[in-house]
Amino acid sequence: MTTPTRVNVAVIYYSATGVVAAIAKEIAAAAEEAGANVRLRRATELAPQAAIDSNPAWAANAAATADIEEAAPADMEWADAVIFGTPTRYGNVSSQLKQFIDTLGGLWAAGKLADKVYSGFTSSATLHGGQESTLLALYNCAYHFGGIIVPPGYTQPSKFEDGNPYGTSHVDGNGTNPVDDVTRTAARVQGHRVVRFASAIKAGLE
């Protein structure tokens, strides 16, 4: 039996109140479990400190994740697969994650973002709060990069419980619904699937 090719996976996310951060950690753990080298990175915060301090959950998450390194273009170049995470912002990608993506022009121009696997995850306050449109908007970047999008799809029975084939997502009910086992299972499915296909693609290209 052939040993799977070991891959590098970057999990790059933005999280205000900690929901997306919790999902990111679950995906990163699943990718490591699947045999990948993993970098967990957070997008740089752009909001003023006064805004952060005005929301106890936001301030608590900022303190709890301060030791996680901020994402840098070098993490993208290193990775064979990138899994982006963002809360929904009016059905779109958060400005913090988008700002990071907007710094990648040099790598894009050099062709260094192409032929990698890309996937995404998100959260919203309400059930129809723009989760699907956020992930679809996020994947537009991968098209421009020349990337290969690997969504979780309905590939496992558990996916019919969380119900989002585009990527792991969670409804937090404005802080009343913490990340639960359904979301954690979805995150693990996605992490494993990304590693599986990134390994196969890397081996094929080599």
Average pLDDT, the chain: 96
Is residue 14 situated within a structural domain?
yes
In the structure, what pLDDT confidence band is assigned to residue 1 with cuts at 50, 70 and 90? very low
- Tens of pLDDT, residue by residue over 37-85, are 999 999 999 999 999 999 999 999 999 999 999 999 999 999 999 999 9
Number of domains in the chain: 1
CATH number, domain at 125?
3.40.50.360
- Note the residue count of the chain: 206
Domain coverage including residue 162: 8-205
Residue 4, pLDDT above cutoff 90: no
Is residue 87 situated within a structural domain?
yes
Is residue 2 situated within a structural domain?
no
Is residue 62 situated within a structural domain?
yes
Residue 152, pLDDT above cutoff 60: yes
- Tens of pLDDT, residue by residue over 98-111, are 999 999 999 999 99
Distance, CA of 133 to CA of 138 (rounded, Å) = 8
- What are the phi and psi torsion angles at 118 (to 5°)? -130, 145
Is residue 1 situated within a structural domain?
no
Helix ranges restricted to H, the chain: 19-33, 49-53, 56-64, 73-78, 95-101, 105-109, 131-145, 159-162, 181-205
165-190 residues labelled b (16+ CB within 10 A) or e (exposed): ebbbbbbbeeeeeebeeebbbbbbbb
Distance, CA of 189 to CA of 166 (rounded, Å) = 12
In the structure, what pLDDT confidence band is assigned to residue 120 with cuts at 50, 70 and 90? very high
Distance, CA of 85 to CA of 138 (rounded, Å) = 9
- What are the phi and psi torsion angles at 134 (to 5°)? -65, -45
Q: What angle do helix axes 181-205 and 19-33 make, rounded to 10 degrees?
A: 50
pLDDT of residue 96: 98
Say what the pTM is: 0.96
In the structure, what pLDDT confidence band is assigned to residue 12 with cuts at 50, 70 and 90? very high
Is residue 102 situated within a structural domain?
yes
Look at phi and psi of residue 110 and say left if phi exceeds 0, alpha if psi is from -120 to 50, else beta: alpha
